[in-house]
Amino acid sequence: MALPSAKPQVFAPWNDPEAKPLIRIEGVSKSFGDFHAVNKVDLDIYPGEFFSLLGASGCGKTTLLRMLAGFETPTEGRISIDGVDMTSIPPYERPINMMFQSYALFPHMTVAQNVAFGLKQDRVPKRLIGNKVREVLDLVQMSRFAERKPQQLSGGQRQRVALARCLAKEPKVLLLDEPLAALDKKLREQTQLELVNIQDRVGITFVMVTHDQEEAMTMSARIGVMNAGSIEQIGTPVEIYEYPTTTFVADFIGTANMFDGVVSLEEQNRTVVDCSELETQLTVGHASGVAVGAPVTVMVRPEKMTVQREKPDPRINCVHGVVSDIAYLGDISIYHVRLESGRKVQVALTNLRHTSEQRLTWDDEVYLTWHPANSLVLVQ
Amino acid sequence: MTATTPSSTAPHPRPGPALRAALLRRWGRALVGMPPYAWLLLFFLIPFLIVLKISFSEPQAAIPPYVPLFSWAGDQILQIRLNLGNYGYLFSDELYVAAYLNSLKIAGISTVFCLLIGYPMAYAIARAPKTVRNPLLMLVVLPFWTSFLIRVYAWMGILKNEGLLNSFLLWTGIIHAPLQMLETDFAVYVGIVYSYLPFMILPLYATLEKMDLSLLEAAADLGCRPFRAFLNVTLPLSIPGMVAGSMLVFIPAVGEFVIPDLLGGPDTLMIGKVLWSEFFDNRDWPAASAVAVAMLVLLVAPIMVFQHYQNKTSEAGR
């Protein structure tokens, strides 16, 4: 018997030039007076995708979401869904549903009535409404609470009802505005995976807005990192974390140690950067694409560094310093190392052993090294 | 039995500072609560009991114009003469029943009109830009700065045969002879709706203003056109405001005296007017008192309904 030769297909329609996007955002801007909330955003989102807009508060991500829902009209640009221009289509005619941050459940209706609301607007026959309501309440495990009023539910339960209410209409796109922000940490982590599973089962395209990078990384197929109204980078969680293209993204996602310098040598798969601050040269394992002499930033993630007390022999990418602060987080510890220049660098080490022997402590002299392939040149 | 703990054998301790503070707190709290109760007792309950007492006596031509309820009949005998006739009279004379029913009718219809006019106004104010909301509310309350009586007299000036409204209608040529508006039920409705409209608008505004507007966005998002969203979401959520406003208009309107007396005709029958004429024209204090007590009982019922409704909604809101 022949084994299936093809590997399971990876979901990545954005790499496929043939794939047709479901949502197409072209040059969309939104201004409130002098304030540019969203600035010339171009974005394609593909059918079945779980896309997250990630950014700090005030970066325009919610405004972009509200333009998709139809609550705000773009000052400039065009949004189309499934090839249909949405500019003049009011919210109640769009094939989109939105889950509000406050959930916006109707307080005077029971859970079942809330879920049935959207179907009633479409004049779906009563019998079908009943079936659909039961089906989606089962999906979010809220059948037992069908006759309760929203006030009688906990935050997590309301969140499920809000989700069910959106899913009942089987929209082409489901928008989620900070869906988990109101839940406590444990429940949030559990709900993250549940939401992804539900999305997988119903196959609806999800667009989520969040300020929580962990949430975005856990749940999304792709993330768009937003800053001051523009999208800085679009990519999978791995791309965004390992290969940020701008210093903003590098800094916003996780922790980044960044050293400014000037390119002194440029080869096909190697860049050497003169770093005046460290008084040494840093080698990075890829080409920077800029000319010698151009100012760049070298980025190294804390967990990509190794720490040792002894001076390493081949001194590539090696800096020397003293442990100044230790943050013990249980699974890992973050060491803040003060370099000779006074600059602080963060290093993360996994706590593999119970014992505290060998563990670094305050004022230990250490050498930090990293492999050139584990660092990145960011062009300013 | 011997004492097991030293404290139980020790002399009773004098109240310590903690105990004194606790006592003070307890009595202090009661003292703060006293004035409103004292006020209600002095100016509501006691007068009511006096009126109740008078309603059970018989009229007589004297000062005061009624027979005392309690009297000493000879040695050590306290005589109480309860005259239930006044209440029987209320039911036997058609005038009273008709006046009651007519008062309820006029108050009820006025309330409906206040609601129909007040709701759009309250809605418009609640949805107006934040900066103009307060000025608009101010305009609603502004008439209170003029005496109520003066405003009713002003309506007389507007509605009378040679008044503003008739002159205007004659001038436009819509009518050729002045309309009899003053001294009709129409004038009474106009007066009551005009006077009590702010009491409808204010509670409605309060309910509409605090409504979460994301609910309307959610409704639109789920496929609901704006008008249907209003019917399905805004209207049901503003019921508490409509109930509160209707009570505030209906209850005082039932007992209204000034407006029907000044704007209504001789055949505008309202219980407030009957009470007035019973008291001042007939000088029949016991009958007037019986009318007053009956009116109070009649009005307490809707208030109880209102209270019950409010408790229910506040429980559901928890």
What pLDDT digit, counting tens, does each position of B205-235 carry?
A: 999 999 999 999 999 999 999 999 999 999 9
Mind listing the pLDDT tens digit for each residue in B155-172?
Answer: 999 999 989 999 999 999
Check whether residue B281 and residue B183 sit in a common domain.
yes
Residue B313 pLDDT > 80: no
- Mean pLDDT of the region A211-224: 94
Structurally, chain B folds into a number of domains equal to 2
Contact list, B222 vs chain A (CB under 8 Å): 92, 97, 117-118, 121, 165, 169
Note whether A114 contacts B: Cβ–Cβ < 8 A. Answer: no
Single-letter residue type at A9: Q
Check whether residue B92 and residue B77 sit in a common domain.
no
Check whether residue B91 and residue B79 sit in a common domain.
no
- Asked whether the beta carbons of residue A104 and residue B232 sit closer than 8 angstroms, the reply is no
* Residue A235 lies inside a defined structural domain of this protein: yes
* Residue B189 lies inside a defined structural domain of this protein: yes
Check whether residue A237 and residue A265 sit in a common domain.
no
Check whether residue A180 and residue A240 sit in a common domain.
yes
Mind listing the pLDDT tens digit for each residue in A34-69?
Answer: 999 999 999 999 999 999 999 999 899 999 999 999
Check whether residue A346 and residue A221 sit in a common domain.
no
Contact list, B228 vs chain A (CB under 8 Å): 121
Single-letter residue type at A202: V
Q: What local confidence, expressed as pLDDT, does residue A1 receive?
A: 43
Give the SS3 label for residue A108. coil
* E-assigned strand segments in chain B: 70-72, 78-80
Structurally, chain A folds into a number of domains equal to 2
Check whether residue A231 and residue A259 sit in a common domain.
no
- Give the residue numbers spanning the domain of A320: 255-379
- Asked whether the beta carbons of residue A104 and residue B317 sit closer than 8 angstroms, the reply is no
Residue B32 pLDDT > 70: yes
| Of residues A104, A118, A151, nearest to B214 (C-beta) | A104
- Mean pLDDT of the region A221-239: 95
Note whether B318 contacts A: Cβ–Cβ < 8 A. Answer: yes
- Mean pLDDT of the region A199-220: 94
Question: Hey, which of A284-293, B18-27, B295-304 has the most confident mean pLDDT?
Answer: A284-293
Q: Which residue has the higher pLDDT, A222 or B86?
A: A222
Q: What local confidence, expressed as pLDDT, does residue B2 receive?
A: 45
Check whether residue B134 and residue B97 sit in a common domain.
yes
Mind listing the pLDDT tens digit for each residue in A112-162?
Answer: 999 999 999 999 999 999 999 999 999 999 999 999 999 999 999 999 999
Q: What local confidence, expressed as pLDDT, does residue A111 receive?
A: 97
Q: Are A140 and A195 spatial neighbours (Cβ–Cβ below 8 Å)?
A: no
- Asked whether the beta carbons of residue A117 and residue B219 sit closer than 8 angstroms, the reply is yes
Q: At which of B83, B113, B144 does a domain end?
A: B83
* Residue A211 lies inside a defined structural domain of this protein: yes
Categorize the per-residue pLDDT at B12 as very low, low, confident or very high, splitting at 50, 70 and 90. low
Single-letter residue type at A346: Q
Kindly report the CATH number assigned to the domain that includes residue B173. Answer: 1.10.3720.10
Cβ count within 10 A of residue A260: 16
Q: For B314, name the nearest residue in chain A, comparing CA atoms only.
A: A151
Mind listing the pLDDT tens digit for each residue in A259-304?
Answer: 999 999 988 888 999 998 888 889 998 888 888 999 999 999 999 9
Check whether residue B266 and residue B151 sit in a common domain.
yes
Average pLDDT, chain B: 87
- Asked whether the beta carbons of residue A100 and residue B218 sit closer than 8 angstroms, the reply is yes
- Cα–Cα dist B114/B250, whole Å: 10
* Residue B20 lies inside a defined structural domain of this protein: no
Average pLDDT, chain A: 91
- Mean pLDDT of the region A322-333: 90
Check whether residue A292 and residue A168 sit in a common domain.
no
Name the residue among A127, A126, A143 with its Cα closest to residue A135: A143
Q: What local confidence, expressed as pLDDT, does residue B13 receive?
A: 56
Q: CA of A97 to nearest chain B CA: how many angstroms apart?
A: 6
Contact list, A153 vs chain B (CB under 8 Å): none
* Residue B267 lies inside a defined structural domain of this protein: yes
Comparing A99-103, B72-76, B134-138, B290-294, the range with the smallest average pLDDT is B72-76
* Residue A229 lies inside a defined structural domain of this protein: yes
Categorize the per-residue pLDDT at B1 as very low, low, confident or very high, splitting at 50, 70 and 90. very low
Kindly report the CATH number assigned to the domain that includes residue A314. Answer: 2.40.50.140
Kindly report the CATH number assigned to the domain that includes residue A33. Answer: 3.40.50.300
Mind listing the pLDDT tens digit for each residue in A150-194?
Answer: 999 999 999 999 999 999 999 999 999 999 988 888 888 889 999
Check whether residue A150 and residue A291 sit in a common domain.
no
Check whether residue B166 and residue B58 sit in a common domain.
no
Q: What local confidence, expressed as pLDDT, does residue A84 receive?
A: 94
A257-267: strand order across its sheet: A280-284, A270-275, A257-267, A295-300, A375-379
* Residue B125 lies inside a defined structural domain of this protein: yes
Check whether residue A274 and residue A243 sit in a common domain.
no
Check whether residue A166 and residue A292 sit in a common domain.
no
Cβ count within 10 A of residue B244: 20
Mind listing the pLDDT tens digit for each residue in B132-150?
Answer: 999 999 999 999 999 999 9
CA distances in angstroms from A18 to A12, A13, A14, B266, listed in the order given? 12, 8, 9, 88
Check whether residue A83 and residue A225 sit in a common domain.
yes
* Residue A168 lies inside a defined structural domain of this protein: yes
- Asked whether the beta carbons of residue A106 and residue B218 sit closer than 8 angstroms, the reply is yes
Categorize the per-residue pLDDT at B14 as very low, low, confident or very high, splitting at 50, 70 and 90. low
Q: Residues near A258 by Cβ (< 8 Å), separated by ≥ 6?
A: A247, A250, A251, A297, A298, A299, A378
Residue B31 pLDDT > 60: yes
Residue B314 pLDDT > 70: no
Q: Which residue has the higher pLDDT, A344 or B24?
A: A344
Q: At which of B56, B83, B110 does a domain end?
A: B83
Mind listing the pLDDT tens digit for each residue in B177-210?
Answer: 888 999 999 999 999 999 999 999 999 999 999 9
Q: At which of A202, A229, A247 does a domain end?
A: A247
Name the residue among B262, B292, B257 with its Cα closest to residue B106: B257
Q: At which of A247, A278, A309 does a domain end?
A: A247
Name the residue among A304, A185, A298, A171 with its Cα closest to residue A244: A298
Note whether A108 contacts B: Cβ–Cβ < 8 A. Answer: yes
Check whether residue A47 and residue A185 sit in a common domain.
yes
Structure tokens at A112: 């079942």
Check whether residue B223 and residue B133 sit in a common domain.
yes
Q: For B217, name the nearest residue in chain A, comparing CA atoms only.
A: A71
Check whether residue A299 and residue A240 sit in a common domain.
no
Comparing A199-203, A287-291, B254-258, the range with the smallest average pLDDT is A287-291
* Residue A2 lies inside a defined structural domain of this protein: no
Residue B9 pLDDT > 60: no
Check whether residue B104 and residue B151 sit in a common domain.
yes
Q: Which residue has the higher pLDDT, B60 or A97?
A: A97
Residue B248 pLDDT > 80: yes
Q: What local confidence, expressed as pLDDT, does residue A274 receive?
A: 92
* Residue A191 lies inside a defined structural domain of this protein: yes
Q: CA of A104 to nearest chain B CA: how many angstroms apart?
A: 5
- Give the residue numbers spanning the domain of B92: 87-317
* Residue B16 lies inside a defined structural domain of this protein: no
Q: Which residue has the higher pLDDT, B38 or B311?
A: B38
Q: Which region holds residue B201: left if phi is over 0, alpha if psi is between -120 and 50, else beta?
A: alpha
* Residue B300 lies inside a defined structural domain of this protein: yes
Contact list, A98 vs chain B (CB under 8 Å): 217-218, 221
- Mean pLDDT of the region B121-127: 97
Note whether B214 contacts A: Cβ–Cβ < 8 A. Answer: yes
Q: What local confidence, expressed as pLDDT, does residue B15 receive?
A: 60
Check whether residue A84 and residue A178 sit in a common domain.
yes
- Asked whether the beta carbons of residue A92 and residue B214 sit closer than 8 angstroms, the reply is no
Check whether residue B138 and residue B79 sit in a common domain.
no
Contact list, B213 vs chain A (CB under 8 Å): none
What percent of chain B has pLDDT above 70?
93
Residue A222 pLDDT > 60: yes
Name the residue with tokens 């249980």: A330
The helix or strand, by DSSP H or E, that contains position A1, with its residue range, turns out to be: none
* Residue A24 lies inside a defined structural domain of this protein: yes
* Residue A6 lies inside a defined structural domain of this protein: no
- Asked whether the beta carbons of residue B214 and residue A118 sit closer than 8 angstroms, the reply is no
Q: At which of A247, A280, A299 does a domain end?
A: A247
| Of residues A92, A98, A151, nearest to B225 (C-beta) | A92
